[in-house]
Amino acid sequence: QSRTCHSPTMNFRTIALLVAASSRSTVCGFSPAASSSIAAARFGAHNINNFTVRNMSAASSEPRKAGVSSPTDIKEFVSSAGSSLLVVDARHPDASVEPGDAKSLAVAGFPDKDSNFRPNAINLPWSRESNSMEVPEVDKDTPIITHCGGGGRGQKAKDYLESVGFTKVLNGGGPKETECWAEYGDK
């Protein structure tokens, strides 16, 4: 039985993400096995085993948004933070408010404490209307990575948190920044 994903985001990058996510979850209605089959069909004789999110991002022609930390900086930050790391997801749950978030949510869902999905993360949407967000109820020296889909609102969230006294904040970009996301996306 075959499945079709009726999504405007089903492109080369999305297929790469499907392949990379295949070991973790079903994405856009495709099982892990289907994800590999899709990529194999799309790329023919290419070696799917070497086709990873990291390779995809490295080959991407899109520049990283201003303020998004490097994958190396994020890796070091995550390592030093250990279990005290907090990931602040600044994406909005209402697609009518932030239509662009639907793309990144197809790849990486919101944190869900009940299922232990992204256990160190919370959703505190950035409001373009008020230029603010809810502040996390943690100590001001808690290591925090902010993100949205690709880094724009993640940077606004980072700047805002720093303006109210948080001292250890990085902008991790988001699922679109695949090399960065690989360092903290499962946290």
CA-atom Rg of the chain in angstroms: 17
Which of 31-35, 93-97, 149-153, 154-158 shows the lowest mean pLDDT across its residues? Answer: 31-35
| 3-state class (DSSP) for residue 136 | coil
pLDDT reported for residue 12: 42
* Percent over 90 (pLDDT), the chain: 52
Residue 102's pLDDT band, with cuts at 50, 70 and 90, is confident
* pLDDT per position as a tens digit, 109-131: 999 989 999 999 999 999 999 99
The more confidently predicted of residues 84 and 34 is 84
Where do we find the tokens 């390592």? 79
Could you tell me which of 88, 85, 151 has the C-alpha nearest to residue 123?
A: 88
pLDDT reported for residue 15: 46
pLDDT reported for residue 84: 97
Residue type, 88: V
* Strand boundaries in 18-89, DSSP class E: 86-89
Average pLDDT, rounded, for the chain: 77
Where do we find the tokens 């869902």? 109
H helices present in 4-151, as ranges: 12-21, 32-43, 53-59, 71-81, 101-107
Confirm if 154 and 146 have CB atoms less than 8 A apart. Answer: yes
